[in-house]
Structure 1
Amino acid sequence: MRSFIPKSRGMRDTPDEAFNWRLFLRAAIFGLLGASRGLDEGLVGGMVSLKSFKDEFRLEDGSEGHQANMLSNITSMVQLGSIVGAFLAFILCDKLGRVRTLQTLSLLWLVGFIIVVVSEGNVNQILAGRFIAGLGIGMTTVVSPMYIAEIAPKSIRGMLTNLFAGSVYLGATIAFFSNWRASVNLPDESRWQWRAPQFAHIGFASLFLLLSFAVPETPRYHMIKGRHEQAEIALADLRMLDTSHYQIQAEIIGIRSQLDREQESTHGVSRWRKLRELLFVPANRYRLMLGFMSQLLGQWSGANSITIYATEFFGVLGKSGQSEKLFASCILGVVKLASAYLCAFFLIDLLGRRRSLYMGITLQTISLTYIAIFLGVVGTETLNSGELSGPQRRGAVGSIAMIYLSGIGWTMGWNSFQYLVNADIWQLRLRALGSSLVMCLHFVNQFGNTKAVPDMLLTMQSYGFFAFSAVVSFAGLLWVWFFVPELRGRSLESTDELFSLPWYKIGRYGHKLVPEREEIHDVEEGKGDLRIEGRAP
């Protein structure tokens, strides 16, 4: 299968057998978990815009402020549950393993949306079901990148991890089309107009629950639990190589060496002492800063808000009629889906993390700035009236194109990096805790963002929202230039030395000052001990 994979740095060290169907099947199962988030982001925005849902749950009663608050409560409840779910994932991944965590999250996701679809006019039931489902959806952002990072050869770790980021928009595309077809084919008086699309959640959750019994645990998790022989067998099975092969021995030596060093330095340390280590060890603080800032800047750059409230924004930019707005949202889903997978397969491991971020954020900033200027000059009242001059009509078409272009920029930049950063930076022993904390912040920001947008649109108007997002995007570009190191092609066990550099050198100069050094070369040259019990020289 190597011939179908774009050439990337470090592939010469990986035998052809390692690029096999077992690797790609397991990565695909966990990678497709991203569809859970995309389904919700796409479905909930369309659901609350459908007349059948508005009438059944009386969303148009009361003042504008009350309506905005009710809307934000419903749309943000999955994000609120996901904050708790992302933290629970840390405990479950460490205690039960990656696969058992997949089974748990699938059950929560399934039960939550069964509660949603059987609700009849009860807003509290909708909120409860979406919160329970959010517990499971929040876990996906931790367990999926973690599982894939622990099974992937380093040369394609970025590509495989970004299957998760890309599948977010597979779910969003399915959601957008489901809402659109429901609005066209089902009458406004029928509650099935909003219910039917929600069955996509139930179908996906059931599928992942069944598939969870077909995937094995990762070799690294076996090693953490002291099952060294099982880890070797699992890795050999995954790579489709004999246990005596130098690649297997080199990977096992690297994993065990790092884990032994970590355990020796923190013998007897409790889970809460691990938290203190994250906060007080400079190298770990830098890792935590990378994770936290990527979530803060990424979430407030506006892209997820555009996905959730796509129908609202297309209406502001001149699309009239519910079906037309939903269809424009479908196109946005297709654009993001195609660009997400193109970036995953052809950019992340070829151009590197930093260059992809530069390109994506720049594109996003330009697009958002154009929309903000257009809305500020023309005004939403003129757009709502439909009485536009020729240049204004062309400007409106350009703004809609810029919505799609901002989606491409998002998938090239923040969308990939916000998940990949967790796969790249953490030490094996701290990966579950670090990933969970970062993804907790991810959902805290997404919850706050989703809650805030309806009020922002009331107080700042649409042009103010887009101007705010453009400023955040530009700030993100400066942050990437100074702080984000290039981690393309590095093994998971080789980043410690990079993060031990002075903080002001890590981002801009780290990749040059601390090049990748692999134990595999020593093994190939006969310098290393091929026994698992041996230590790398």
Structure 2
Amino acid sequence: MATSSNSNRNLYSAAVVSCLTAALFGYSVGFIGGEIVLPSFLAHFHLNHLSDRDLASARSWSVTAWIVGALAGVPIGMPVCSRLGRRLCLQFSAVLYVVGATVQVFSSGNMALFEAGRLINGMGVGAGTLVSPIYISEISPASQRGMLMSGYQVFIQCGALLGFWIAFISQAVLSDRSALQWQIPVALQLIAGLMLLIGTLLIPESPRYLAERGHYQLMEESLAWLRRISTSDPLLLSERLQIETAAELSKDLKQRPFIRELGKKDVRSRLVIGVGLMIAQNMVGLNALNYYAPVIFMSAGFTSVSSSLFLTGIFGIVKVVSSLAFMFKFVHVKGNRFWLMLGSGVCGASMLVLAYCVRVTTLPDHTHEASITAIGIVSVLMVYLFSFFFGVSLGPISWNVCAEIFPLHINSTCCAITTCTQWAFQVVIAAVTPPLLAKIGWATYVIYGGFCILSLLWVGIFVPETKGVGVGKPMDELFGAEKPVDEETIVEVSETTALLVHDRRRRSSLTAYS
């Protein structure tokens, strides 16, 4: 008899392939900060003779083009995901990412072409952030869904950490005159994108998507591969019938316009929760720390480039450790509401303490020598404390909840709305954080601390516990969804339902072969 780990091998493999979109996401974020300051990059794109203002603008466009591309990639990927399949959407994401990376590598000193590559690259990431959580949610049993969904955040942080160190090593090892110094970090995107593309050829389509399309034989084969059990196994039979029943109902409900679905109180509640979590994920201020961490470390007395970069690297490691801790331990200990509330509270306290530390700390300049102080060390610890508790709360759980709470027949549309919200608020934070830090400095952290407290209160009042709740009917019951008339007719007797659906599937299969 296969061991538990062996029985889940295919499930984990499919989840890992899907999570590669998150690695692309993280790497694109992680390497670009170091990339755009490399001497070889500046020389190749003729940026080394620009004024400080023009150089800052050029760097800003490289980052902004990617975020705008990601935002556009979500609605572009939505019809592919909903009509052509989850796996094909993963392939679509990989192709866009590889094309974008190729354009960047061979941009021939043309900055506009490089930014166009970043835009296409971002579109691939945006489509990936839409489809990957949906795919993982649909292939996972309720008992393992939380852990597997948490892997998405792990891959984001691992990708970001890898991107940071690749750019750092390129600068340290390769000559400033060598084009390889900037090309290697960019070219590694091709490897990651091709890994995703090849991986999608080895995994099956989501069983729920196949059932919804009436491909019951393929659904059965997909489910058997994912669970590594025979198609005649009673466990597979039970899960198959549940999926088929939900798919039959979903096909009828899909005929209704989305605006009609918004008229349902439970759908509106779910959208408010999903959109709210994505807003909170951005507004609590992690990006402010990502942007300002080196200056905080300098204010603590670590003024050399090597020490500042080292502490920034540790910052990335803390984010990886926290996401791994949540995936393999914390997700099994308490529910989502507990971690969301605890994380929001600790992040808020960290921000307020950090605001005080920055307020009373004098930055080193030509009149003040650098020195390591207790207040400066506390500042560094607050950055790490914030990143750890963000990584076990809003970081992974926002993606998890959005992927699992919506009805199957409108899941793609609702996830597109929440994912677009995520990217739209990344644009907002990227735009407002630098001027806030320039104008009000330490008070910026007070503002973000206030949003953390609002997140704590909002979760406590509005967000229900979804841990362990099955996707489909159990989730509908959690949100008090009205039972459709069609469903009342179909599920009066569960045994009859199973037989009817099974018989309908057999008749469909026979028709296909006749």
TM-score, length-normalised on structure 2?
A: 0.88
Give matches, 1:371-450, under 5 Å. Answer: 371-379=354-362, 381-382=363-364, 387=369, 393-450=373-430
Kindly indicate whether residue 11 of structure 2 is the aligned counterpart of residue 23 of structure 1.
yes
Give matches, 1:159-198, under 5 Å. Answer: 159-198=147-186
What is the DSSP-based 3-state SS (H/G/I as helix, E as strand, rest coil) of the residue aligned with 1:356?
Answer: helix
CA distance in 2, matches of 1:316, 1:118: 40
What is the DSSP-based 3-state SS (H/G/I as helix, E as strand, rest coil) of the residue aligned with 1:476?
Answer: helix
Percent identity of equivalent pairs: 27
Aligned to 1:46: 34
What is the DSSP-based 3-state SS (H/G/I as helix, E as strand, rest coil) of the residue aligned with 1:347?
Answer: helix
CA distance in 1, matches of 2:374, 2:2: 46
Instruction: Decide whether aligned partners of structure 1 residues 18 and 207 sit closer, same or farther in structure 2, where only a CA change above 3 A counts.
Output: closer
CA distance in 1, matches of 2:448, 2:437: 12
CA distance in 1, matches of 2:295, 2:48: 15
CA contact (8 A) 2:303 2:370 kept: no
Kindly indicate whether residue 314 of structure 2 is the aligned counterpart of residue 331 of structure 1.
yes
Kindly indicate whether residue 219 of structure 2 is the aligned counterpart of residue 231 of structure 1.
yes
CA contact (8 A) 1:457 1:465 kept: yes
Q: Could you tell me which of 240, 243, 263 is aligned with 1:252?
A: 240
Aligned to 1:264: 252
CA displacement, residues 489-520 of structure 1 (integer Å, 9 cap, x when unaligned)? 11102111221279xxxxxxxxxxxxxxxxxx
CA displacement, residues 106-126 of structure 1 (integer Å, 9 cap, x when unaligned)? 111111122223335433222
Higher relative contact order (CA 8 A, sep 6+): 1
CA contact (8 A) 2:283 2:448 kept: yes
Instruction: Decide whether aligned partners of structure 1 residues 120 and 196 sit closer, same or farther in structure 2, where only a CA change above 3 A counts.
Output: same
CA distance in 2, matches of 1:107, 1:229: 29
CA contact (8 A) 1:86 1:138 kept: yes
Aligned to 1:11: none
Give matches, 1:74-223, under 5 Å. Answer: 74-223=62-211
Aligned to 1:487: 466
CA distance in 1, matches of 2:26, 2:299: 23
Kindly indicate whether residue 320 of structure 2 is the aligned counterpart of residue 320 of structure 1.
no
Instruction: Decide whether aligned partners of structure 1 residues 317 and 50 sit closer, same or farther in structure 2, where only a CA change above 3 A counts.
Output: farther
Aligned to 2:334: 351
What is the DSSP-based 3-state SS (H/G/I as helix, E as strand, rest coil) of the residue aligned with 2:389?
Answer: helix
CA contact (8 A) 1:156 1:349 kept: no
CA contact (8 A) 2:299 2:376 kept: no
1:67 CA drift (Å) = 5.2
CA distance in 2, matches of 1:175, 1:156: 29
What is the DSSP-based 3-state SS (H/G/I as helix, E as strand, rest coil) of the residue aligned with 1:406?
Answer: helix
1:255 CA drift (Å) = 2.0
CA contact (8 A) 1:82 1:139 kept: yes
CA contact (8 A) 1:314 1:325 kept: yes
What amino acid is the match of 2:351?
L
CA displacement, residues 399-419 of structure 1 (integer Å, 9 cap, x when unaligned)? 112212111011111111121
CA displacement, residues 430-483 of structure 1 (integer Å, 9 cap, x when unaligned)? 11111111101111111221233232222222x133222211111111111111
Kindly indicate whether residue 500 of structure 2 is the aligned counterpart of residue 500 of structure 1.
no
What is the DSSP-based 3-state SS (H/G/I as helix, E as strand, rest coil) of the residue aligned with 1:533?
Answer: helix
1:191 CA drift (Å) = 4.3
What is the DSSP-based 3-state SS (H/G/I as helix, E as strand, rest coil) of the residue aligned with 2:214?
Answer: coil
Structure 2 residues not aligned, in runs of 5+:
483-492, 505-514
CA distance in 2, matches of 1:2, 1:430: 37
Kindly indicate whether residue 457 of structure 2 is the aligned counterpart of residue 478 of structure 1.
yes
Aligned to 1:505: none
RMSD: 2.8
CA distance in 2, matches of 1:60, 1:486: 56
Structure 1 residues not aligned, in runs of 5+:
4-15, 503-521
1:265 CA drift (Å) = 4.3
CA contact (8 A) 1:176 1:326 kept: no
Instruction: Decide whether aligned partners of structure 1 residues 60 and 159 sit closer, same or farther in structure 2, where only a CA change above 3 A counts.
Output: farther
CA displacement, residues 270-324 of structure 1 (integer Å, 9 cap, x when unaligned)? xxx22x1353322111111111111111112121343366545544554434333
CA distance in 2, matches of 1:316, 1:69: 26
1:72 CA drift (Å) = 2.8
What is the DSSP-based 3-state SS (H/G/I as helix, E as strand, rest coil) of the residue aligned with 1:244?
Answer: coil
What amino acid is the match of 2:241?
I
CA distance in 2, matches of 1:94, 1:501: 23
Kindly indicate whether residue 289 of structure 2 is the aligned counterpart of residue 306 of structure 1.
yes
1:388 CA drift (Å) = 5.3
CA displacement, residues 321-346 of structure 1 (integer Å, 9 cap, x when unaligned)? 43333322221121111110110111
CA distance in 2, matches of 1:404, 1:2: 41
CA contact (8 A) 2:47 2:55 kept: no
